[in-house]
Amino acid sequence: MKKNVPYFILLPGLVLLIFFLMMPLIASIFPSFLPENGGFGNYLAFFQDEYNRGIFWRTIRVSSIVTLVSLIFGIPTAYFIAGLNKKWRGILMAMTLFPLLTNSVIRSFAWINILGKNGVLNTLLLKTGLVEQPLNLLYTEFAIIIGSVYLFLPTMIMTLVGVMENIEGEMLEAAETLGASPFTAFLKIVLPLSIPGAIVGSILVFTGTLTAYTTPQLLGGNQKMLMSTFLYQRAATLGDWNGVAVIALIMIVTTLVVMKVLNFIAKQVDRREFHNA
């Protein structure tokens, strides 16, 4: 009886997942496979359309860039926060989480005021004489990337801090005793041990960017549409629920493929570190 206790504990959560998440999702996507609705031809037709392919690859490109930029800024920031005492670590963690407490619509409108033709950035560039005319920064991929990095960078930092806190300081002290510089110790010890957190953070940031709607819609508009805004357009404007199901499944499969690729990379890195050790 005691052996079955964990299964009884998991049962309510599994019921909620199956009936309130999986079943509606399957009910929405399954009709797109029916012959009368086009079947697998729907998915072939999606990728045969140049416009659709452009939106798909733009989404992959933007999500990848946001993930890479979040890693570049997140790793050193998390390393700095993890090395502080508990008091300052808590303060900086709270400051990192603060943007997440603000509504995404408000944050996006803030970036509109910064990147618009009459925004803060263009006004500053014009006054300093660096440009003669306002730059077209809004409703571009650049605007979506900036807004998405601002949106998801705290997630990357929080994930990495949780991993780096568990790295024993004695390992870094031993490396420095053997003659390694702080930068070398970071590259040889901290960075490899942070790979699991980096992989988890990358998955969260990539999938978050892939599925985000508010930021791409407000900062990219219809000129630089991503899969999420394309899905909303098909549903709300055109009422094409079969097309919505196709887009949704493509987004789900893309997410799963990215997760598998990142997990494969993590295993290869761990295997290489093991052989080097």
Read off the pLDDT of residues 148-195 as tens digits, 9 standing for 90 and up.
999 999 999 999 998 888 877 677 777 777 777 777 877 778 788 888
Taking each continuous run of H as one helix and of E as one strand, the counts in the chain are 15, 0
The alpha carbon dihedral of 69, 70, 71, 76 has a sign of: positive
Cα 204 to Cα 162: distance, rounded to the nearest angstrom = 15
Burial class (CB in 10 A: 0-12, 13-18, 19+), 48: exposed
Angle subtended at Cα 202 by Cα 201 and Cα 205, rounded to the nearest 5 degrees: 85
**CATH number for the domain running over 45-267:** 1.10.3720.10
Closest among 62, 258, 18 to 152, alpha carbons compared: 62
Contacts of 47 (CB under 8 A, 6+ apart): 53, 56
**Residue 19: how many CB atoms within 10 A of its CB?**
10
What is the token pair recorded at 105?
Answer: 């619509």
- Please state at what angle helix 86-97 crosses helix 50-82, rounded to 10 degrees: 160
Contacts of 226 (CB under 8 A, 6+ apart): 55, 58, 59, 62, 144, 210, 216, 220
The pLDDT of residue 275 is 57
Whole-model pTM above 0.85?
yes
| Virtual torsion, Cα 26, 32, 229, 213, nearest 10 deg | 0
Closest among 113, 98, 135, 96 to 219, alpha carbons compared: 113
Contacts of 82 (CB under 8 A, 6+ apart): 89, 160, 161, 164, 165, 167
* 159 in Cβ contact with 76 (< 8 Å): no
What is the token pair recorded at 73?
Answer: 């800024």
Per-residue model confidence as pLDDT tens for the chain (277 residues): 556 667 777 788 888 888 888 888 888 888 888 887 788 888 899 999 999 999 999 999 999 999 999 999 999 999 889 888 888 888 888 888 887 888 888 888 899 999 988 889 999 989 888 888 888 888 999 999 999 999 999 999 999 998 888 877 677 777 777 777 777 877 778 788 888 889 989 999 999 999 999 999 999 988 889 999 999 988 888 788 888 899 999 999 999 999 888 888 777 766 665 555 5
